[in-house]
Amino acid sequence: MVKKVKQNQDAKAGNTKLATSDVFDVPENILHLDSRELILLEEGFRDWKQRTKRADYVRSRTRTFCLFLVLRHTGARLGEILRLDERRDFDLARAVVYLGREGGQREVPLPQSVCRELRALIDSPMSSGLEGEIFNLDPGYVRRIFYERAAECGLEKKKGAPSVLRRSRAVEMLRNGVPLGVVRKVLGHSSTDLAAVYQNWSACDVSNIVRRMALEENSLKSSARNTFIGHVRSVKRDGILADVEFETAEGLIISSVITLESLYKLGLEPGVSVSATVKAPLVAVRPLKEHGTSSRNCVPAKVISQKHTEVLAEVVGESAGGTQMCALVTSWSVEEEGLSVGAEVEFCFKALSVVLHAV
């Protein structure tokens, strides 16, 4: 299996929602380029275009390079690109290209960087005499150049095929969470089985998805305002208690002290997924010192809201990674400690206050 290459950026930002686009494998029989290889191939084409000074070569290579860019970023079929009329089929002001025949035409967005390359070619003297036919190149020549560029980049020669670029664009969009229906529309796919072609879930993937969903459902059912999801890093035991340390997606290190009976009952060991909850009354909040915090179970954050009565105040903060914390403290401490909205603070709680849950 070709494993995923994109990390879940939402998870880095503290969003624990699971995106299936980040966990599927691409079936082994689907030859495609990963993100690194796509960048490598594009750089290879750009270098090839710039290596010549002869005017006729410059024009030919610039046309081929622009054709590559349109193929790479649209996932279109080679035949569709060769038929394009740049005067009619591109709207560079809106950054789109119109692909397909009448009755089945589709509008596909283009990156601004590609639009700049196209505009430079169309507006230059190189396009003189080629009006409406800039992409009208011999398909055999195109395929040969594509194979040569792939080999020159150290890739398998067959990975330079236009059809591989099409599949690569499909995988790239699915990896980035683009809905399947949108991917089908962009590619002009008529098959309703696109997911079955490009996506495959191993038994391990399925287990991870179900486990993560169970953890999220568990956190939603809890009345605790402070919830963390992560994986166990270490377990230390004595004769009665165990210190369980786990790391969240944001990189926060949380410690919980539980009984050995609970440890064995939950089956906790390094690598096991866990969720943890802490009741708001058990969380303290205080101004963040200049040098930051080195204390256990202290989360640096910025106050984003507060509500208070004459006796109690609810202080809500958000960490740099997006983790939200809530503490119930005395109203007088809010004023005394300067816990106003926008203040840099740290939310702290004891390891004995952390309740662990495992699936």
The answer to whether residues 135 and 256 belong to one domain is no
Instruction: Assign 58 to helix, strand or coil.
Output: helix
Domain at 260, CATH number: 2.40.50.100
Q: Total structural domains in the chain?
A: 2
Tell me: the pLDDT tens digits for 58-98? 999 999 999 999 999 999 999 999 999 999 999 998 889 99
The answer to whether residues 32 and 161 belong to one domain is yes
Structural domain of 72? 26-198
Domain at 30, CATH number: 1.10.443.10
Q: In this structure, are residues 166 and 30 in contact, taking their beta carbons and an 8 Å threshold?
A: no
Please give the average per-residue pLDDT across 117-127, as a whole number.
Answer: 92
28 φ, ψ to 5°? -60, -25
pLDDT value, residue 7 = 40
Query: Is 68 part of a structural domain of the chain?
Result: yes
In terms of Cβ atoms closer than 10 Å to its own Cβ (0-12, 13-18, 19+), residue 136 is: middle
Give the tokens for residue 304.
């984003």
Tell me: the pLDDT tens digits for 129-173? 999 999 999 999 999 999 999 999 999 999 999 999 999 998 888
Instruction: Give the chain's mean pLDDT.
Output: 83
The answer to whether residues 53 and 146 belong to one domain is yes
Query: Is 203 part of a structural domain of the chain?
Result: no
| pTM assigned to the model | 0.53
Give the tokens for residue 73.
């970023």
Question: How many residues in total does the chain contain?
Answer: 359
Give the tokens for residue 302.
């910025």
Query: Is 322 part of a structural domain of the chain?
Result: yes
The answer to whether residues 182 and 229 belong to one domain is no
The answer to whether residues 248 and 194 belong to one domain is no
In terms of Cβ atoms closer than 10 Å to its own Cβ (0-12, 13-18, 19+), residue 58 is: middle
Handedness of CA 68, 117, 186, 15 (dihedral sign): positive
Instruction: Assign 42 to helix, strand or coil.
Output: helix
Secondary structure element (H or E) that encloses residue 248, with its range? strand 241-248
Where is the domain boundary, 146, 163, 198? Answer: 198
Q: Report how far residue 121's alpha carbon sits from residue 63's, in angstroms, rounded to the nearest whole number.
A: 8
Q: In this structure, are residues 322 and 251 in contact, taking their beta carbons and an 8 Å threshold?
A: no
